[in-house]
Amino acid sequence: MTRALLNATACLPLLLGSTAIVGCASVDFERTSPNAGEFRSSALSLTFFGFDFPTHALLAARANASDAQQPNTEVSYERVFPYFGAFDWLLDLVSIRWAVVRGTWGYED
């Protein structure tokens, strides 16, 4: 019993260390006019027994777009994959989730 507990404890740093690889995000901006454009932000996260590392994928994607400080940012599309609806609690055990947020920024003439 104690050997199994020690093995599980020894694996925890490896799991937490893998979040540096798993937790990544990106944001892309494309101009459609001199003062406006569209953006696409994505993020990846690891879920382990209800805890998201480094944070929930959708929150990371939204925060990444917000941190760019573009004026009048409006989200028009967001998606998290995988998503099981009522059975989404199964993904809270162990999973990797990917989120995409798209929208517009700026002021059209």
pLDDT for res 23: 61
How does DSSP assign 54-102, residue by residue?
SS-HHHHHHHHHHHT--TT-EEEEEEEES--GGGGGGGGTEEEEEEEEE
pLDDT tens digits along 9-49: 555 555 555 545 556 888 899 998 888 999 999 999 998 88
pLDDT of residue 99: 92
Q: What local confidence, expressed as pLDDT, does residue 38 receive?
A: 94
């998290």: which residue's tokens?
80
Give residue 88's pLDDT. Answer: 80
Instruction: Kindly state the percentage of the chain with pLDDT values over 90.
Output: 28
Tokens of 71: 């004026």
As a whole number, the mean pLDDT across the chain is 81
- The token duo for 105 is 């920024």
pTM of the model: 0.72
